[in-house]
C-alpha cells in the first residue's frame, strides 16, 4: 500500500501511476459486456486510490491474445493482461511471479488445482481469473419420450443414443471435434477413458493405449453407427452444437455453465450429470481456466499487486462469477457459492472442480499442439480414419514442439 499511496494527494503529483489492463469480453451482448464489470471495479478502486488510474481495454476472445502479443512484440506491454495463455511470456521472463505481486492471503486463496495449472517449472506466473468445468447435458424431454435414463457408462451412453436415434432425434450425441474447440471435447473423452494429453510432467502421451482405445470406441460405437448427427464431428463446432441443443435437436452433449442459461432462455428442459466413463462416472473432468498476467516492463509491480488484491477480493470474484455463470477461482468465493441458494445451478460444476484436469498450459509448446489437435483430431473418427495413426502423428508433432521449446 505504501508504494501506491506515496504519490497520492489532493492534487495528485509526479508519482501518479496509470496501470493499463487488457481484458477479455465474457458478455454476449452490450448489456453484459465485461467493460461494464471492469468499469465498476475500477471506479470503486480509484475512489480509494487517488494516485492510481486504471485504464482498461476490453477485446473479444477472438482477438485478445493476438492484441496482447502485438503490444508485447512492439515493446509496449500492458501492465496486466487477462488472456488464454501465459507460458510463452513466462519463458521469456516478461512476467512477474504471482507471489511477487499479489499478497500472501490472495495467493493462498487461489483454488489449488487452478494455481497448479498456472505454474511453469513449479513457479506460478498465471493467476486464474475465470474457470469452468464440463458436465454431460441431456434433453429431459427427449429422454422422457424415449423412456431412457441419463448414462453413467459409455455403453449406457451408446444405448441411449440408439434409442434417441430410433425416435428421430437429429443429434443423439453431439460430438464437436471441429476447429473451434476440439481440444476440449477430446480431452473430456480421453480423461473419461483413463488417459489424457500428458502422462508425466515432462512429456505428452497423445498416442497412449488408453487414448487410442477411447477414439476407437468413439469411431466404432458412436460415429460409425450414425449416432452423432448429420454433420461430421470434424466439421461440427461447439457453438453450432450448443445452438442445436437449445433448438431441441440434441439428445446429449458435453457443456459448460453458460449453456444452462442459453437452454433455459429457449425453454429446453435439461438435466446434467458427470461425464460417463468406462465402468461408471468419469474419475476426472475437464477444467478450463483463463489467466491474469502481470508484465514487468513498466515496473509497476507494487501498484499491480495492490490492484489485483482488490480484484481478487471475495466480493469481486463472486460478482464476476455470478454475472457470467463461471466458477470462482478462489477458495473463499467457492465456499460462499457452494452454500448460497442463488448459486444452486452452478453447484454441480463446482463439485467437479477438485476432480478436474486442465490443459498443459504451463508448456510453451501447448499453443502449437492445441492448434494441431483442433486441425487434425476430427480425422480420427472418419470412416477411413485411424485413431492410432492420427494420435501417433499428433504425438510426433507434440514431441518435436516440446524439444524445440527447450522444455
Rounded to the nearest 10 degrees, the angle between the axes of helix 301-311 and helix 34-48 is 120
288 neighbors 359 (Cβ within 8 angstroms): yes
Residues 88 and 198 in one domain: no
Please state, in angstroms and rounded to a whole number, the distance separating the CA atoms of residues 43 and 66.
27
CB atoms within 10 A of CB 342: 8
Note the pLDDT of residue 8.
35
CATH number at residue 336: 3.40.190.10
Global confidence as pTM: 0.87
pLDDT for res 15: 66
Residue pair 377/234 in contact (Cβ under 8 Å)? The answer is: yes
The model's pLDDT over 114-136, given as tens digits with 9 standing for 90+, comes to: 999 999 888 999 999 999 999 99
Q: How confident is the model at residue 372 (pLDDT cuts 50, 70, 90)?
A: very high
By residue range, what is the domain housing residue 195?
Answer: 135-274+363-405
Q: Is the backbone of residue 306 left (phi > 0), alpha (psi -120 to 50) or beta?
A: alpha
Give CA–CA dist 128/197, Å, rounded.
21
In a domain, 281, yes or no: no
Q: Are residues 246 and 371 in the same domain?
A: yes
Q: Are 215 and 93 members of one domain?
A: no
Q: Are residues 307 and 168 in the same domain?
A: no
- Total domain count for the chain? 2
Residues 367 and 242 in one domain: yes
Query: Measuring CA to CA, how many Å separate 245 from each of 97, 172, 194, 260, 348?
Result: 41, 10, 27, 11, 19
Structural domain includes residue 26: yes
Answer yes or no: is 174 within a domain: yes
Q: What is the pLDDT of residues 316-325, one digit of tens each?
A: 999 999 999 8
Distance between start and end Cα atoms, the chain: 37
CA distance linking residue 268 with residue 288, whole number of Å:
25
Burial (CB count <10 Å: 0-12, 13-18, 19+), residue 402:
buried
pLDDT band of residue 32 (cuts 50, 70, 90) is: confident
What is the Cα 284 distance to its own chain's centre?
A: 15
Amino acid at each position: 500500500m505504501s508504494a501506491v499511496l506515496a504519490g497520492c494527494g489532493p492534487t495528485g503529483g509526479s508519482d501518479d501511476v496509470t496501470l493499463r489492463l487488457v481484458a477479455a469480453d465474457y458478455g454476449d451482448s452490450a448489456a453484459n459486456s465485461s467493460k461494464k464489470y471492469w468499469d465498476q471495479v475500477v471506479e470503486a478502486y480509484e475512489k480509494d486510490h487517488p494516485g492510481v488510474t486504471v485504464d482498461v481495454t476490453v477485446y473479444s476472445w477472438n482477438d485478445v491474445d493476438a492484441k496482447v502479443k502485438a503490444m508485447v512484440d512492439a515493446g509496449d506491454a500492458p501492465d496486466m493482461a487477462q488472456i488464454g495463455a501465459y507460458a510463452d511470456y513466462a519463458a521469456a521472463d516478461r512476467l512477474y511471479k504471482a507471489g511477487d505481486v499479489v499478497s500472501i492471503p490472495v495467493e493462498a486463496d487461489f483454488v489449488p488445482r487452478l494455481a497448479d495449472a498456472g505454474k511453469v517449472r513449479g513457479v506460478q506466473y498465471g493467476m486464474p481469473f475465470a474457470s469452468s468445468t464440463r458436465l454431460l447435458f441431456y434433453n429431459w424431454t427427449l429422454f422422457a419420450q424415449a423412456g431412457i435414463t441419463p448414462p453413467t457408462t459409455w455403453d449406457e451412453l451408446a444405448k441411449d443414443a440408439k434409442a434417441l436415434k430410433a425416435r428421430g432425434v437429429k443429434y443423439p450425441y453431439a460430438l464437436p471435434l471441429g476447429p473451434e474447440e476440439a481440444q476440449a471435447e477430446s480431452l473430456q473423452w480421453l480423461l473419461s477413458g483413463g488417459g489424457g494429453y500428458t502422462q508425466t510432467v515432462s512429456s505428452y502421451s497423445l498416442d497412449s493405449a488408453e487414448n487410442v482405445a477411447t477414439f476407437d470406441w468413439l469411431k466404432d460405437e458412436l460415429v460409425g453407427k450414425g449416432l452423432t448427427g448429420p454433420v461430421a464431428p470434424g466439421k461440427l463446432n461447439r457453438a453450432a452444437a450448443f445452438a442445436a441443443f437449445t433448438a431441441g435437436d440434441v439428445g446429449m452433449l458435453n457443456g459448460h455453465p453458460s449453456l444452462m442459461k442459453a437452454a433455459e432462455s429457449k425453454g429446453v428442459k435439461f438435466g446434467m450429470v458427470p461425464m460417463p466413463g468406462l465402468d461408471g462416472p468419469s474419475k476426472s473432468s475437464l477444467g478450463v481456466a483463463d489467466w491474469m498476467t502481470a508484465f514487468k516492463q513498466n515496473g509497476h509491480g507494487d501498484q499491480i499487486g495492490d490492484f489485483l488484491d482488490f480484484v481478487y477480493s471475495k466480493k469481486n470474484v463472486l460478482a464476476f462469477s455470478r454475472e457470467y455463470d463461471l466458477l470462482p477461482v478462489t477458495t473463499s468465493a467457492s465456499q460462499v457459492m457452494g452454500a448460497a441458494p442463488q448459486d444452486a445451478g452452478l453447484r454441480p460444476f463446482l463439485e467437479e472442480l477438485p476432480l478436474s484436469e486442465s490443459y498443459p498450459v504451463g508448456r510453451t509448446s501447448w499453443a502449437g499442439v492445441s492448434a494441431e489437435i483442433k486441425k487434425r483430431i476430427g480425422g480420427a473418427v472418419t470412416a477411413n480414419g485411424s485413431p492410432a495413426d492420427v494420435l501417433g502423428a499428433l504425438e510426433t508433432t507434440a514431441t518435436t514442439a516440446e524439444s524445440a521449446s527447450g522444455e
